[in-house]
Structure 1
Amino acid sequence: MEDKRNIQIIEWEHLDKKKFYVFGVAMTMMIRVSVYPFTLIRTRLQVQKGKSLYHGTFDAFIKILRADGVTGLYRGFLVNTFTLISGQCYVTTYELTRKFVADYSQSNTVKSLVAGGSASLVAQSITVPIDVVSQHLMMQRKGEKMGRFQVRGNLEGQGVVAFGQTKDIIRQILQADGLRGFYRGYVASLLTYIPNSAVWWPFYHFYAG
């Protein structure tokens, strides 16, 4: 069978920027709404001591619904949506870096390697602080305390609204750890995502060619 891999590479100047950003954010948001409850459950299962609260994914799902309702599955969601910015910054950085490197090298491998690594550096610099705050918000529940910090007020919706909780968590992180507290795991994230992105894109262009 004949190999028909000659795939056209879409460069920055070829993109319809308005459609790209609008549809990109909309699609990512729909996916995020679908998977966020399981992200919250995974985070709680990883943090709990043994099986002190939940005996598994389904058990956690039912207990959170019973205790907090559907909104309990979306604690920290509003803050987490700000990571959508990092996704758009990733693609923008990737494309603009490819365009910049093209002035020095026409090699797709070189352009993709540098652009992929740079894009992940920018994206993780935005994502990590947001993830730190949203993960602390995921730990907020009625009853037993989970995690290092706990918002003041009533988690049933009286006294502390969503962004009030966010402000409280941010203040506690600053008091406990300073600005460095928002970048816990930052180096590990860079060591994970930069090599992955830097290697993935050259292989994509190799396959596309």
Structure 2
Amino acid sequence: MASEINWDRLDKTKFFVVGAGLFTGVTVALYPVSVVKTRLQVASKDTLERSAFSVVKGLLKTDGIRGLYKGFGPVITGTIPARIIFLTALETTKAASLRMMEPFTLSETTQAAIANGIAGMGSAFLSQLLFVPVDVVSQKLMVQGFSGHAQYSGGLDVTRKLIRSDGIKGLYRGFGLSVMTYTPSSAVWWASYGSSQRYIWRLLGHSDSEVGTPSLPKSEVGIPSLPKSEASIPSLPEIIFVQATGGIIAAATASCFTTPLDTIKTRLQVTALEKKISVKQVVKDLIREDGWKGLYRGLGPRFFSMSAWGTSMILAYEYLKRLCAKDEEAIDR
């Protein structure tokens, strides 16, 4: 159970190169869920495919496996630099925040919680500057030909038409809602994940001193700190169980809180170029079509996506940091 690996202990070049490959692999595995979720969120009242199963069946029937990867090109191209921005901002802001709080008489748990919160919010906001245009372009490709949406020849075609119609701001449709969706979503996710982990460890008979404080960076992935007695070290199956269960609880909480915002944002972003539509109109349309449950379209796929993405990314990120850690001699030099 190694100690927390801070930003200054990482080989930055290796971190970004290996990280790009690692997160690309996770994106490839989970991308189809995003396509299904997006199609469900934009389906009109008359659309035949209004369940996850029917959407998948329709995509496979018309396009085969590649149908589940509509819009993948822009996503994989844009998310690599966006993730670099996110991870750099996350780690550097976290370190700076911890230094700023040193003069205050706060507990280590409180310091870590505040630092992680500030870092998470700041990095989420900065990464949206790249994520939103990628979202807008990829989502238009995800839904092309579905429920009356326009057809495009590719990501460049979408980008060209958006800029011609609305200028650069066309690439930032729903930017405010994206920030309002992903920033609190991240905060709720991590808060739920940390608190649920502590509760689960206690149910399993491990005290806080044995497993560490969940809000501390090293416990964000559910890896306990080294206890005094080797006999009290949690087993690998226990660690995986706690991580998975904590991720599911966090995903359920975050998805319930933020799915309405995500549904509205998605509809705004995929609206036809010639149409000008407001948030108020989107909400009215959803409620008229399906009642209040219309705001929760795609909740199932989004919950699954957040569970799978969150757990996979946490495991991948912790593994990446340990893989890219400098040895002590290199740090001293």
* Matched-pair contact (CA < 8 Å) for 2:3–2:218: no
What amino acid sits opposite 1:16 in the alignment?
D
Pair 1:146-2:157 in alignment: no
| Map of 1:62 onto structure 2 | 57
1:85-124 mapped onto 2 (5 Å cutoff):
85-106=81-102, 107-124=111-128
Render the CA deviation track for 1:17-44: whole Å, top value 9, x for unaligned. Answer: 2332233222222221122122112211
1:123-138 mapped onto 2 (5 Å cutoff):
123-138=127-142
1:11 deviates by: 1.2
Cα distance in 2 for partners of 1:92, 1:101 equals 14
Residues 95 and 79 of structure 1: CA distance in aligned 2, closer, same or farther (over 3 Å): same
What amino acid sits opposite 1:90 in the alignment?
F
Pair 1:84-2:86 in alignment: no
Pair 1:189-2:178 in alignment: yes
Residues 68 and 119 of structure 1: CA distance in aligned 2, closer, same or farther (over 3 Å): same
Cα distance in 2 for partners of 1:167, 1:121 equals 25
| Map of 2:7 onto structure 1 | 12
* Matched-pair contact (CA < 8 Å) for 1:80–1:134: yes
Could you tell me the percent identity over the aligned residues?
Answer: 32
Moved more, 94-103 or 8-17: 94-103
CA RMSD, Structure 1 to Structure 2 (Å):
2.8
Render the CA deviation track for 1:142-195: whole Å, top value 9, x for unaligned. Answer: xx6633x432xxxxxxxx4xxxx2121112212332222222221122223334
| Map of 2:287 onto structure 1 | none
1:90 deviates by: 0.9
Cα distance in 2 for partners of 1:27, 1:188 equals 29
Cα distance in 2 for partners of 1:91, 1:178 equals 30
1:55 deviates by: 4.2
Residues 63 and 111 of structure 1: CA distance in aligned 2, closer, same or farther (over 3 Å): closer
Cα distance in 1 for partners of 2:123, 2:62 equals 40
What amino acid sits opposite 1:204 in the alignment?
S
Residues 52 and 115 of structure 1: CA distance in aligned 2, closer, same or farther (over 3 Å): closer
Moved more, 195-204 or 121-130: 195-204
Aligned partner (choices 167, 172, 185) of residue 156 of structure 2: 167
* Matched-pair contact (CA < 8 Å) for 2:35–2:69: yes
Cα distance in 2 for partners of 1:65, 1:42 equals 16
Moved more, 106-115 or 173-182: 106-115
* Matched-pair contact (CA < 8 Å) for 1:114–1:198: no
1:114 deviates by: 2.7
Q: Which ranges in structure 1 are unaligned for 5 or more consecutive residues?
A: 1-5, 152-159
Cα distance in 1 for partners of 2:139, 2:34 equals 9
What amino acid sits opposite 1:182 in the alignment?
L
* Matched-pair contact (CA < 8 Å) for 2:144–2:151: yes
Q: Which ranges in structure 2 are unaligned for 5 or more consecutive residues?
A: 103-110, 195-213, 220-224, 226-333
| Map of 2:216 onto structure 1 | 205
Cα distance in 1 for partners of 2:6, 2:218 equals 16
* Matched-pair contact (CA < 8 Å) for 1:132–1:182: yes
Cα distance in 2 for partners of 1:103, 1:94 equals 14
What amino acid sits opposite 2:183 in the alignment?
I
SS at match of 1:146: coil
What amino acid sits opposite 2:179 in the alignment?
L
Cα distance in 2 for partners of 1:206, 1:115 equals 12
SS at match of 2:13: helix
* Matched-pair contact (CA < 8 Å) for 2:124–2:182: yes
SS at match of 2:144: coil
TM-score, normalised relative to structure 2: 0.50
SS at match of 1:133: helix
1:102 deviates by: 4.8
Cα distance in 1 for partners of 2:117, 2:34 equals 30
